[in-house]
Structure 1
Amino acid sequence: MSVKSVVAAAALLALATPALADIEIRDAYARAAMANAKAGAAFMEIVNTGPEDDRLIGAASDISERVELHTHIDDGNGVMKMIEVEEGFAVPAGGAYMLRRGGDHVMFMGLRGPMNDGDTVNVTLTFEKAGDVAVAIPVDLQRQDGGM
């Protein structure tokens, strides 16, 4: 194999390899309101240790039929409503972004089974720059809002 071929192969491999993730997931937990709930959610701190802004643009898990990025908004009549955030959530370079109860979160819709305390939910978070980040998130049904 010639030097030119080795360099070309190395270049192709570098292009095919996802960027090293500058994303860290901290203090993640998931929950459902009750044992027979059809929806659940995950909350966490997303830390971007890299030099460039990134954006969480999607999530996937086999725990439910659909996984979406959601937030809560006031419908103008004092009623809070959950809606999908299709553009995702910006995570600034050298900063963090919180997904928390009552705010932005990962939503599991059409749960395929109960979310039991102590279980683990496998989730793949997709970022514009960092690509896919796999996270094992513990189910914690006892956690209160102030835990983050």
Structure 2
Amino acid sequence: MTRRICSALCFALSVTTLGLAAPARAAEPVMAGALRIETPWMRATPGGAKVAGGYVRVTNTGTQADRLTGAAIATAGRGAIHSMTMAGSVMKMAPVPEGLPIGPGQTIELKPGGLHLMFEDLKTAPKVGEPVSGTLSFERAGTVPVTFAVAPIGATSPNAAGPAAPAPHHHH
């Protein structure tokens, strides 16, 4: 084989392989009353992991406040809202049992490194490209079905690749 043909084949194989682990695709926003729910996503986890983080952006387009009170996916024993803070190089997470208020005109964004959803007691690991059905619970809007796109392990956004730096230690 010539070098050019070999290079072309290697490129084609790498594109095909990369296509199998494509980043998560954002779904259309979901409206629940006056709430606009955008980009529910989570990270893939290694096999045997018992927790997974979930992320979402919610905008209150109405005139009355609401509150995000929880989340669930079928493959987890429970879901909760968590905060994340750093103390030096140690990551500390804590439940936010009172939920997150969303005032009129306000947007909350749950994302890596801050407020997030924590799905615990996983029965199966979320896999890249395999959407996960779930729900978000709100004080006023009630329980809203959503689909979490699954991004690679360590992704910092739903369309990002994996991590660029090692993760800090977790302490719950």
In structure 2, stretches of 5+ residues that fail to align are: 1-31, 160-172
Q: Deviations over 1:67-112 (max 9, x none)?
A: 11111134x5652211110001111211210000011111111111
For the pair 1:67 / 2:72, whether they are aligned, the reply is no
Amino acid at match of 2:112: R
Question: Which of the residues 60, 67, 70 maps onto 1:55?
Answer: 67
Kindly state the Cα deviation for residue 33 of structure 1 after the two structures are TM-superposed: 4.1
Counterparts of 2:69 and 2:150, CA distance in 1: 23
So what's the TM-score if we normalise by structure 2?
A: 0.67
Would you say the 8 A contact 1:21–1:133 is kept in 2? no
Over the residues paired in the alignment, what is the CA RMSD in angstroms? 2.1
Structure 2 distance, partners of 1:59, 1:146, is 19
Q: State the alpha-carbon separation in 1 of the partners of residues 154 and 57 from structure 2.
A: 15
TM-score for both structures, normalised by structure 1: 0.77
- Tell me how far 1:145 sits from its aligned partner: 2.1
Q: Secondary structure at the match of 2:62?
A: coil
| Cα gap change, 1:95 to 1:28, in 2 (>3 Å) | same
Q: State which of 93, 96, 116 in structure 1 corresponds to 2:104.
A: 93
Identity across aligned pairs (percent)?
33
Rounded to whole Å, the distance in 1 between the matches of 2:154 and 2:40 is: 11
Instruction: Please report how far the alpha carbon of residue 143 of structure 1 lies from its aligned counterpart in structure 2 after TM superposition.
Output: 7.1
- Aligned residue identity for 1:27: T
- Give aligned pairs, total: 128
Match of 2:12 in 1: none
Q: Which deviates the most, 98-107 or 32-41?
A: 32-41
Contact kept, 8 Å, 1:21 with 1:131, in 2: the verdict is no
Query: How far is the alpha carbon of 1:115 from its aligned partner?
Result: 0.8
State yes or no: 1:40 paired with 2:67. Answer: no
Q: d(CA) in 1 for partners of 2:109 and 2:151?
A: 17
Is it true that 1:83 corresponds to 2:94 in the alignment? Answer: yes
Mark the runs of 5 or more structure 1 residues left unpaired by the alignment. 1-19
Runs of 4+ in 1 over 6 A off after TM superposition: none
SS at 2:84 equivalent: strand
